[in-house]
Amino acid sequence: MSDGLALFAAASPIIQVHAVMATAAILIGGVQFAMPKGTATHRLMGRAWITIMGLVALSSFAIHELRIFGDFSPIHLLSVLVLVALWQGIRLIRRGDIARHKRAMARLYILALVITGLFTFLPGRLMYRIFFGQ
């Protein structure tokens, strides 16, 4: 087993689930952007993406590697914002506000997955060690 896989296997189960779900959200979200909108497949994948994103956000509350405010860090505030943004995206599409739904989901993907994901690759963080070694 490579060093990266060994580090991942040694991580707590909640971190493993969080990382796998975040990766799934990145992949499904990317497919969502590329595929036709408004189809039954788009709606089904959207529901899956919303569920996975909710699980990613909720699972973060059980991760306490960065402790700035007691057991929590600014990342946990982001998780609250993700949950609010998910609710907003659902509310917008149910109202038929497709343009705002599209912008909200794209913004959520970029901010919550891409930018935040890049922070997991900072030196010293687990993902950095998994992919780039100690």
Q: What is the pLDDT of residues 79-102, one digit of tens each?
A: 889 999 999 999 999 999 999 999
pLDDT > 60? residue 1: no
Kindly report the number of other CB atoms within 10 A of residue 32's CB atom.
Answer: 18
* pLDDT for 73: 60
pTM as predicted: 0.85
Mean pLDDT to the nearest integer, 29-42? 94
- Express each pLDDT in 64-84 by its tens digit: 665 555 565 667 678 889 999
Secondary structure in 3-state letters for the chain: CCHHHHHHHHCCHHHHHHHHHHHHHHHHHHHHHHCCCCCHHHHHHHHHHHHHHHHHHHHHCCCCCCCCECCECHHHHHHHHHHHHHHHHHHHHHCCCHHHHHHHHHHHHHHHHHHHHHHCCCCCCHHHHHHHCC
Would you say 63 and 18 are in contact if contact means Cβ atoms under 8 Å apart?
Answer: yes
Mean pLDDT of the chain: 88
Give the distance, in angstroms, between the CA of residue 65 and the centroid of all CA atoms in the same chain. 17
pLDDT of residue 58: 92
Kindly state the average pLDDT of the residues 54-69: 78
Q: What is the DSSP letter of 69?
A: B
Mean pLDDT of 6-13: 88
